[in-house]
Structure 1
Amino acid sequence: MSEVVFSGAALVHGEAAGEIIASDVELSFWGGVDPGTGEVIDRHHPLSGQILTGKILVIPGGRGSCSGSGVILELLLTGKGPVAIVTEREDDILALGVVIAEEVFGKSIPVVVLNPRDFRQVATARYARVDGDCVVCGDDPVALGALPLAGRELASKVSDLKLGRADQAYLDGTHGKAARVAMKVILRMAHLQGANQLIDIAQAHIDGCVYTGHGSLRFAQQLREWGGKVAVPTTLNSISIDHRRWRTQGVDPAFGEPASQLGDAYVDMGARPTFTCAPYLLESVPQKGEQIVWAESNAVVFANSVLGARTMKYPDFLDICIALTGRAPLAGCHIESGRSAALQINVPRLKYVDDAFYPLLGYHVGLVAANRIPVLTGLEQAAPSQDDLKAFGAAFATTSSAPMFHILGVTPEAVTLNDATGGTSVPTVEISIEDLLQSWRELDSAPGLSIDLVSLGNPHFSFSECEKLAALCRGRTKHKDITVIVTCGRATHDKIREAGILSELERFGVQFITDTCWCMITEPVVPPTAGTIMTNSGKYAHYGPGLTGRGFHFGSLAACVEAACTGATSAEPPPWLRDN
Structure 2
Amino acid sequence: MRLTDHEKSMLSGDHGAAKARAMDLLVRYGEALGAERLVETNNVAGAFNASTPSIRHLAEQGFDKVFSELNLDSDETVEIPRMEASTCQLITGIDNDNWRIQGVDPHLAELQRQSEKYLGQRGINMMATCTPYQVGNVPVKGEHCAWMESSAVIYCNSVLGARTNVEGKESTGAAALTGRIPYWGFHLDENRYAQHLVELDIAVDDMMDWGLLGYFIGYAVEEEIPVLSGVAHQPSLVKLKHFGAAAASSGGVEMYHIPGVTPEAATLEQAFGPRETKSVIRYGARERAQTFEKIQSATDRKIDFVMLGCPHNSIEQMELIAHLLEGRTIHPDVQLWVHTPRAIKQIADRSGYCEVIEKAGAVVMSDTCPAISRRMPPGVRVIATDSAKQAHYLPAIGKVQGWFGSVRHCVDSAVAGEWMGAA
TM-score using structure 2 length: 0.90
Q: Give secondary structure in 1 for the equivalent of 2:310.
A: strand
Comparing 296-305 and 197-206, the one that deviates more: 197-206
Which residue is 1:120 aligned to?
A: none
How far apart, in 2, do the equivalents of 1:265 and 1:343 lie? Answer: 45
Change (3 A) 1:221 1:513: farther
Superposition RMSD in Å:
2.3
Q: Give secondary structure in 1 for the equivalent of 2:169.
A: coil
Shift of 1:285: 1.3
Which residue is 2:422 aligned to?
A: 572
Larger radius of gyration: 1
Residue of structure 1 aligned with 2:184, choices 312, 321, 331: 331
Change (3 A) 1:192 1:343: farther
Residue of structure 2 aligned with 1:557, choices 404, 407, 418: 407
Which residue is 2:7 aligned to?
A: 167
Shift of 1:463: 0.8
Shift of 1:211: 4.0
How many residue pairs get aligned? The number is 409
Q: Which amino acid aligns with 1:554?
A: F
Structure 2: stretches of 5+ with no match in the other structure: 60-64
Native 8 Å contact 2:199 2:283 kept in 1: yes
Residue of structure 2 aligned with 1:477, choices 314, 329, 333: 329
Give the 5 Å matches for 1:526-537. Answer: 526-537=376-387
How far apart, in 1, do the equivalents of 2:138 and 2:327 lie? Answer: 35
Shift of 1:303: 0.7
Residue of structure 2 aligned with 1:321, choices 164, 174, 184: 174
Structure with greater contact order relative to length (CA < 8 Å, sep ≥ 6): 2
Give the 5 Å matches for 1:105-124. Answer: none
Write the deviation string for residues 329-357 of structure 1: whole angstroms up to 9, x where unpaired. 22221122121111112222137x53211
Which residue is 1:383 aligned to?
A: 234
Shift of 1:432: 4.0
Comparing 553-562 and 435-444, the one that deviates more: 435-444
Q: Give secondary structure in 2 for the equivalent of 1:479.
A: coil
Q: Give secondary structure in 2 for the equivalent of 1:429.
A: strand
Which residue is 2:398 aligned to?
A: 548
Native 8 Å contact 1:277 1:460 kept in 2: yes
Write the deviation string for residues 463-498 of structure 1: whole angstroms up to 9, x where unpaired. 111112122222433323221111111111111112
Between structures 1 and 2, the one with greater helix share: 2
Shift of 1:425: 2.3
How far apart, in 1, do the equivalents of 2:116 and 2:53 lie? Answer: 12
Q: Which amino acid aligns with 1:251?
A: V
Change (3 A) 1:211 1:421: farther
Native 8 Å contact 1:193 1:331 kept in 2: yes
Change (3 A) 1:216 1:569: farther
Residue of structure 1 aligned with 2:217, choices 353, 358, 365: 365
Native 8 Å contact 1:239 1:259 kept in 2: no
Residue of structure 1 aligned with 2:355, choices 500, 503, 507: 503
Percent of matched pairs sharing the same residue: 33
Change (3 A) 1:313 1:249: closer
Residue of structure 2 aligned with 1:310, choices 155, 163, 167: 163
Give the 5 Å matches for 1:32-71. Answer: none
Native 8 Å contact 1:366 1:396 kept in 2: yes
Give the 5 Å matches for 1:106-185. Answer: 161-185=1-25
Comparing 482-491 and 514-523, the one that deviates more: 514-523
Shift of 1:392: 0.6
Which residue is 2:62 aligned to?
A: none
How far apart, in 2, do the equivalents of 1:175 and 1:445 lie? Answer: 53
Shift of 1:244: 4.4
Change (3 A) 1:192 1:480: same
Q: Give secondary structure in 2 for the equivalent of 1:235.
A: strand
Shift of 1:403: 1.8
Residue of structure 2 aligned with 1:425, choices 276, 292, 307: 276
TM-score using structure 1 length: 0.66
Q: Does 1:398 align with 2:253?
A: no
Q: Which amino acid aligns with 2:272?
A: T
How far apart, in 2, do the equivalents of 1:176 and 1:244 lie? Answer: 37
Shift of 1:548: 1.1
Q: Give secondary structure in 2 for the equivalent of 1:520.
A: helix
Native 8 Å contact 2:310 2:389 kept in 1: yes
How far apart, in 1, do the equivalents of 2:53 and 2:224 lie? Answer: 28
Q: Which amino acid aligns with 1:489?
A: P
Which residue is 2:39 aligned to?
A: 199
Give the 5 Å matches for 1:222-237. Answer: 222=69, 225-237=78-90
Q: Does 1:241 align with 2:88?
A: no
Change (3 A) 1:229 1:244: farther
Native 8 Å contact 2:357 2:364 kept in 1: no
Residue of structure 2 aligned with 1:413, choices 243, 264, 278: 264
Q: Give secondary structure in 1 for the equivalent of 2:163.
A: coil
How far apart, in 1, do the equivalents of 2:107 and 2:395 lie? Answer: 24
Q: Which amino acid aligns with 1:463?
A: I
